[in-house]
C-alpha cells in the first residue's frame, strides 16, 4: 500500500519552483501578436483574452509537473522539457474548455471561476480551445530540437486524439445513463485521463533522450497515476467540497455517468485508487528515474481534496 505520510505540503514544496517556471512560460507563450505580420496574420484580442482566461486561470499543473519531474529523473534539466510541459497543459486546458460546453458536460464553473463559454460565449470558447490545441504543437515544433520535437509531437497527438483522450471522452458521453461494466469503465479511464498522464511522463523522458526501456516504464507510471487520479476525481465529485474543488460537485451522478463510485461503491473505489498508485510506484522503481516529485505525486493524488 502507498505510504500516506507524505502530505500535500510535502508535494507542494517539491512542485512550487517548477510550477512557477510553467506559469511564467505559459504567460509568455499566450502573448500572441495583435498586429499583422508580413503575411497579414495576427490574433484577435478577444480570442487572445479567452485563451489566457482559461490557460492562466489557475489549475494544479500536474501534467506539466510530471513532464518536468520525469525529465529531471532521467538526468535532464527542467528547462530542457519546459516547452513540452507547457504544450501538455495547453492540450489539457483545451480539453476542459470543450468538455465544459453545453453539448458536452455543460458545466458553468471551472477552477473557481465561470467556465469560458459562460464568461465569453460558446463560439469563442470553441475557437479558444482550438487555438490552444494548435498552439501546443507550434510550441513543440519551435522550441525543441528537431528530432525531439518530431517524437514529442507524434506522442502528444496520439495521446490527445481519437484513440486517446478524445476517444475516451466520446465513450464517456456515450455511456451516460446506461449500465456499464468494469472493463468498459477502465477502457474509458485509460484514454480520457490516463493517456495524457502517460504521455506527460514519456515526454519528459524523450526530452532527456532517455533509453526506450526507461521511456516505457515511465509511461506505465503515468498511466497508473492517471487511473488513480481519475478514480479520486470521481470520489471527489461525490464527497468533495465545491469551494475547494473550484467546480460543481454531484454532476456525474446527475448525468448518470459511468464512474467507479457508481459501479463499485466508495470503499472499493478507494482500494482501486490505492492499487493503481502502488502500481505507479512500482513502474517508477523499474524505470530507474525515481524523482522524489514523482513519488510524492503518487501519494498526493490519493490525499488531495481539490
pLDDT, mean of each 10-residue run, the chain (306 residues): 55 93 98 93 97 94 98 98 98 97 92 94 98 98 98 98 96 89 93 97 98 98 97 84 55 77 92 97 96 95 80
List, in order of start, the domains of the chain with CATH numbers.
8-28+48-303 (1.10.600.10)
- What integer pLDDT is reported at residue 237 of this predicted model? 84
**Do the beta carbons of residue 167 and residue 112 sit within 8 Å?**
no
Give the C-alpha distances (Å, rounded to integers) separating 203 from 90, 93, 94, 197: 14, 18, 19, 10
Q: What is the pLDDT at residue 3?
A: 47
Contact between residue 9 and residue 16 where contact means Cβ atoms under 8 Å apart: no
Chain segment 32-90, per-residue pLDDT in tens: 999 999 999 999 999 999 999 999 998 899 999 999 999 999 999 999 999 999 999 99
- Rg for the chain (alpha carbons), in Å? 19
Instruction: Enumerate the H helices of 146-265 as residue ranges.
Output: 146-160, 165-174, 182-192, 194-207, 212-239, 242-245, 251-255, 260-264
pLDDT, tens digit (0-9, with 9 covering 90-100), for 254-277: 777 889 998 999 999 999 999 999
From 232, 240, 221, 239, select the one nearest 272 (Cα to Cα): 232
C-alpha cell at 275: 492499487
Number of H helices, E strands in the chain: 16, 2
Give dist(CA 67, CA 59) in Å, integer.
16
List pLDDT tens digits, range 248-259: 665 766 777 889
CA–CA dist 151, 147 (Å, integer): 6
Q: State the residue for C-alpha cell 468498459.
A: 184
pLDDT at 2: 46
Which pLDDT belongs to residue 10?
81
Share of the chain above pLDDT 90, in %: 82
d(CA 197, CA 73): 16
Amino acid at each position: 500500500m502507498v505510504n500516506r505520510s507524505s502530505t500535500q505540503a510535502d508535494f507542494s514544496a517539491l512542485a512550487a519552483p517548477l510550477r512557477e517556471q510553467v506559469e511564467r512560460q505559459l504567460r509568455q507563450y499566450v502573448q500572441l501578436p495583435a498586429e499583422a505580420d508580413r503575411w497579414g496574420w495576427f490574433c484577435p484580442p478577444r480570442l487572445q483574452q479567452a485563451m489566457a482566461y482559461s490557460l492562466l486561470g489557475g489549475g494544479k499543473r500536474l501534467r506539466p509537473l510530471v513532464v518536468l519531474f520525469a525529465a529531471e529523473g532521467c538526468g535532464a534539466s527542467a528547462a530542457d522539457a519546459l516547452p513540452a510541459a507547457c504544450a501538455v497543459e495547453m492540450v489539457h486546458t483545451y480539453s476542459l474548455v470543450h468538455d465544459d460546453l453545453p453539448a458536452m458536460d455543460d458545466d458553468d464553473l471551472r477552477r473557481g471561476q465561470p467556465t469560458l463559454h459562460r464568461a465569453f460565449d460558446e463560439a469563442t470558447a470553441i475557437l479558444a480551445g482550438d487555438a490552444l490545441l494548435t498552439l501546443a504543437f507550434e510550441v513543440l515544433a519551435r522550441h525543441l530540437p528537431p528530432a525531439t520535437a518530431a517524437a514529442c509531437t507524434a506522442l502528444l497527438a496520439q495521446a490527445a486524439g481519437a484513440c486517446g483522450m478524445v476517444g475516451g471522452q466520446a465513450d464517456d458521453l456515450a455511456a451516460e445513463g446506461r449500465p456499464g461494466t468494469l472493463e468498459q469503465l477502465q477502457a474509458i479511464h485509460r484514454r480520457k485521463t490516463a493517456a495524457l498522464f502517460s504521455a506527460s511522463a514519456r515526454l519528459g523522458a524523450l526530452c532527456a533522450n532517455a533509453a526506450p526501456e526507461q521511456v516505457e516504464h515511465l509511461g506505465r507510471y503515468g498511466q497508473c497515476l492517471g487511473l488513480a487520479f481519475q478514480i479520486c476525481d470521481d470520489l471527489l465529485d461525490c464527497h468533495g467540497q465545491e469551494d475547494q474543488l473550484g467546480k460543481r460537485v454531484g454532476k456525474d451522478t446527475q448525468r448518470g455517468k459511468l464512474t467507479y463510485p457508481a459501479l463499485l461503491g466508495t470503499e472499493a473505489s478507494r482500494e482501486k485508487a490505492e492499487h493503481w498508485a502502488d502500481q505507479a510506484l512500482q513502474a517508477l522503481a523499474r524505470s530507474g528515474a525515481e524523482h522524489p516529485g514523482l513519488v510524492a505525486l503518487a501519494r498526493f493524488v490519493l490525499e488531495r481534496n481539490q
